Every structure is written in structure tokens, then in C-alpha cells.
Amino acid sequence: MNGVARFVKMVTFWELLKGMAITSRFLAKPKVTELYPDVRPVLPYRTKGRLHVEIGTCISCRMCEKACPEGCIKVFQPSKEVFKTDKRPVEFYLSQEHCLHCGLCVDACPTGSIHHSQEFEMAVYNPDDLLFDKETLPYDLDLKHFRWNWIENAPVKK
């Protein structure tokens, strides 16, 4: 850039005008800033949030446990005698702390008992709070986010 061009740019505040032109382009566009946490974001349908387990339909097959690359899941089967009539696990531990949210456990489950929810706020002060057991693993159907049979459960676009 020669000296004259630089001088013209300086006296016409060229860089400032360029900046204002960019700003004005976005003035007319809708705002993209989200007022989180007052306004909750609508997450994509297949969001892989915190895992939920429905103990009631779990058959203690341990497929999820074997599929997990991080060893986050530990399922304790009932005794052989009990298993004949009640296949639900005696205990089910899930460490969300080390979870990769890969979904391999969800895909491995033959009964669709383990699935991702849309819960994404998992910040805790104590990492132990991310270890869930049979009692604390939520299985609220309203919060459920199916990846199992997700096509059948996908919202119909109109």
C-alpha cells in the first residue's frame, strides 16, 4: 500500500467505517444470544445427555456393562433362584463422571432400559455425586429421550 492510499484511509476513517458496516449488517438480523439459564435451550432430538435407566425393565444381562469402553457401568445380577422369577438387578451402578456419552451401552441394551436424556447440566462440586445407583438413577418417562427405536419415537414433522 502506497503512502497516498494510506493517508486517504486514515483521513476517511476507513477501518472504522468498515467495522460499522459489519455491525450494521447484523443489526437487522434476529438475536442469537440465548438467555440461559432463564430460557432453556431446545436441544436436538438425539442429544446424548445424562443416562437414565429403567430398573423395572432391566433384565440384568450386563450387555451395557460389557459394551462400555470406560467401565462406567456395574450391574449386579440376582441369584439364580430369584432370576427365574425376577430378572431385575440387585444393584446397578453408573458413573456419569467418566462417561463419554458414546451411546454404546444404549445400543447394546436389548430391552431399551438405558437411554440418554436431554439433561446436560451435570456440574457438581463433589465427583462422587456423579455416581448413581439403583435408587438414584432416574427413570422418569417424561424425561426419557429414546435412541432405542428412535425413528418410531421421532416427532413427526408437519
Contact footprint for ligand SF4 (CB under 6 A)? 51, 53, 58-64, 67-68, 70, 72-73, 75, 99-105, 108-109, 111, 113-114
Q: Which one-letter amino acid corresponds to residue 7?
A: F
CB neighbours of 92 closer than 8 A, spacing ≥ 6?
53, 55, 58, 73, 74, 75, 76, 133, 134, 137
Which residue, 24 or 69, is less far from ligand SF4 as judged by CB?
69
Minimum distance, C-beta of residue 88 to ligand SF4, in the bound complex (Å): 9
State which residue, 9 or 97, has the beta carbon closest to ligand SF4: 97
What whole-number distance in Å separates Cα of residue 16 and Cα of residue 97?
A: 48
For residue 62, what is its C-alpha cell?
Answer: 450386563
Strand partners, 53: 114
Closest to ligand SF4 by CB, 20 or 100 = 100
The least distance separating ligand SF4 from the CB of residue 45, rounded to whole angstroms, comes to 17
Q: Which is nearer to ligand SF4, 34 or 107 (CB)?
A: 107
Residue spans of beta strands (DSSP E) within 14-138: 51-53, 73-76, 91-95, 114-116, 131-132
Smallest distance from the beta carbon of 77 to ligand SF4, in angstroms?
A: 8
Q: Which is nearer to ligand SF4, 102 or 143 (CB)?
A: 102
Distance of closest approach, residue 67 Cβ to ligand SF4, in angstroms: 6
CA distance 30 to 149: 36
Least distance in angstroms from the C-beta of 76 to ligand SF4:
10
